Amino acid sequence: MPVLPDSNPPEPSAVSAPLTHPEQLLSDVASLPPLPGVYRYFDAEGTVLYVGKAINLKKRVSNYFQKNHGGTRIGHMVSKIARMETTVVRSEAEALLLENNLIKTLNPRYNILFRDDKSYPYLKITGASLSSSPGSSFPRVSYYRGAVEKKHHYFGPYPSAWAVKEAILLMQKVFRLRTCEDPVFNNRTRPCLLYQIKRCSAPCVGHISAPDYAQDVANAERFLRGDARQVMDALEARMMAHAQALEFEQAAELRNQVAALSNVLHQQSVDNVSDRDVDILAVKVQGGRACVNLAMVRGGRHLGDRPYFPVHVDDAAGIYTEDDDEAAAAPSVEAQVLEAFVSQHYLNVPIPPSLVVSEPVNKNLIKTLSVQSGLKVTAVHQPREQRRLWLEMAQTNAGLQLARLLAEEGSQQARTRALADALDLALDNLEELRVECFDISHTAGEATQASCVVFHHHKMQNSEYRRYSIDGITPGDDYAAMRQVLMRRYGKLAETLQEAQKTGQTPAGTGRLPDLVLVDGGKGQVAMAREVFEPLGLDLSLIVGVEKGEGRKVGLEELVFADGREKVYLGKDSAALMLVAQIRDEAHRFAITGMRAKRAKVRVDGGKLEEIPGIGPKRRAKLLQRFGGVRGVALAGVEDIATVEGISRELAEEIYRALH
């Protein structure tokens, strides 16, 4: 897909745009061909603003620049455009696919975005293996998330881990399939508790033959595919055959299976449902936020639902221009949100043959998804009978989930406002309040880690969290650790901002200082932060320490300031203190999980020391105590190692060679 050249001469008659746009941009717009493709708008700093597709690039893009959009959202976006890139494709289907791939990777400011990197869980039944392991003849049912392998059978995807675990419990109750891993299975000498409570047929000790177990596995797979009635009929036929042969014990076992399966079918209410695999999509928009509720039916069984909350709904509402070929009748915000979800979600997730939707979806989009998946996909907007009931349930859940989100956001915004008022923060827009919080964690000086968590846009920004491994300090010196992490965090940024102030130009990609820097600690930690900020020329009023109160009880914390203000106690029920505690606790959690992971790695690697001849537990402990861990020993020279009690020069050289 070639990127269009930008060297063609402009056509003045083609574009009449505001003078605020660069001449090169207007030239690019004027030289666009009337072909299908994808366009991308960038601002002066190189940040992508919007990604769109068009059947006719020239007509679609020109619409943005030929009219005065005033103070609308589209006008706000157009005023920021400084550069444009376009890619010509062969068809609208290719444009749709490319557009949504770019949206997923570039995260444009004015597109509706669905951010969910978590993969869907599956139910996995292991396939037959040529291995000599006893467990290879008796497939195992398990929870699975990740890439699939052809040798195993996968069912799903499921909307949640809970749904998979419910399905596994069903497989245990009805078909008594094993869930234990092969090492456990291969070493059993007597049945486990699951056999006693009739959740497993105990193939590990030969209580069921391989052919009979294979029959149970086949029935389980047929049930998961939606052939529940056929499985029921087959079980009843086998039960009657055993009864006629006077094999009443086997008949009773099958009778129990039939009863359990009948109970499941009654609970799921799918006796007369013809749909096997369906996704039900309902959208609700309110208060500038949106929720898409995705309910899944697999094998004729309703597996539950999963809510999605897109970002940039307000910005995206109104991006369509009056002359868009793709939107002869401008779609509603709900329809735009739903189409954005369908196009982005099913890029990486298998799509079922049937979609039930609360808003009409572009037919060309459905055709494109059909081509991409190799299935004939249909989308039903106004369903009947069972599908209508499913859609109504999904719509109800979408409304409930959105109401919950708005309530939570309202509470969080109130906390943000309370914190800004309590600390007299001069902010024009509370949405932009940015707080960075630091914490130090270690175990007796071992595996010291510092954490930095970020609060922005009224919520914690997990993608901006950072951990810092602290080296070169006396083990256990929290003050030195805090000095190091603050210098690493703000040293280069302070230099860049000072240089920009002198030259009047800020380099693209330069970060910003937070409005508040929280440190977990009292006067000592605050004093250390002040020692870092003063030489860097940073504002001391940014630094606030969270000092634990009397008895270290939650709710009694006091705020300590680096600029000389008196300590402040906000009150146990203060919304501002709740927010400070929330951010502080998150920094502590993030630091301690990183420290534990690092400590575990160091301690596992610590076994390398005992592998060295002459190093026993006592000498190993002395080395780790002196240098703070194996990493510290590895960084030490031969002379330093030889200073440890009990370590000779020859042994120090041996240690150095082993670790290098």
Q: For the domain covering 278-403, report its CATH number.
A: 3.30.420
Which residue in 295, 296, 321 sits closest to 395, CA to CA? 295
| Domain boundaries, given as residue ranges, for the chain | 23-106, 122-268, 278-403, 430-503+512-602, 606-659
Which tens digits make up the pLDDT trace of 18-60?
A: 446 788 888 888 889 999 999 999 988 888 999 988 888 988 8
Do 430-503+512-602 and 23-106 have the same topology in CATH?
Answer: no
Rounded to 5°, the CA angle 141-142-145 comes to: 140
Query: How many whole angstroms separate alpha carbon 134 and alpha carbon 127?
Result: 13
Q: Tell me: the pLDDT tens digits for 373-409?
A: 888 999 999 888 888 988 999 999 999 998 888 888 7
Residue 597 pLDDT exceeds 80:
no
- State the burial class of residue 274 (Cβ atoms within 10 Å of its Cβ: 0-12, 13-18, 19+): exposed
Spell out the residues 6+ positions from residue 39 whose beta carbon is closer than 8 angstroms to its own: 51, 52, 53, 54, 57, 60, 61, 84, 85, 86, 87
**What's residue 6's pLDDT?**
41
**Cis peptide bond N-terminal to 157, omega within 30:** yes
Q: Span 475-501, mean pLDDT?
A: 88
Confidence band, pLDDT 50/70/90 cuts, at residue 434: very high
- Cβ-proximal residues to 565 (8 Å cutoff; 6+ apart), any chain: none
- Number of helices and strands in the chain (H, E): 22, 18
Question: pTM of this prediction?
Answer: 0.63
Burial of 187 (0-12, 13-18, 19+ CB in 10 A): exposed
Superfamily of domain 23-106: GIY-YIG endonuclease (3.40.1440.10)
The yes-or-no verdict on residue 551 having pLDDT over 90 is no
For residue 4, the model assigns a pLDDT of 43
For domain 430-503+512-602, the CATH superfamily is: UvrC, RNAse H endonuclease domain (3.30.420.340)
Task: Kindly list the strands in the beta sheet with 278-286, ordered across the sheet, starting from the edge strand earlier in the chain.
Answer: 301-308, 289-298, 278-286, 354-357, 378-380
- Which has the closest alpha carbon to 158: 212, 122, 110? 122
Q: Could you tell me which of 535, 536, 494 has the C-alpha nearest to residue 514?
A: 494
**Mean pLDDT to the nearest integer, 340-344:** 88
Burial of 132 (0-12, 13-18, 19+ CB in 10 A): exposed
- Hey, what are 232's tokens? 């029921």
Q: Give the architecture-level CATH label for domain 606-659.
A: Orthogonal Bundle (1.10)
Q: How far is CA 514 from CA 83, 265, 562, in A?
A: 29, 56, 15
Residue 599 has pLDDT above 70, yes or no: no
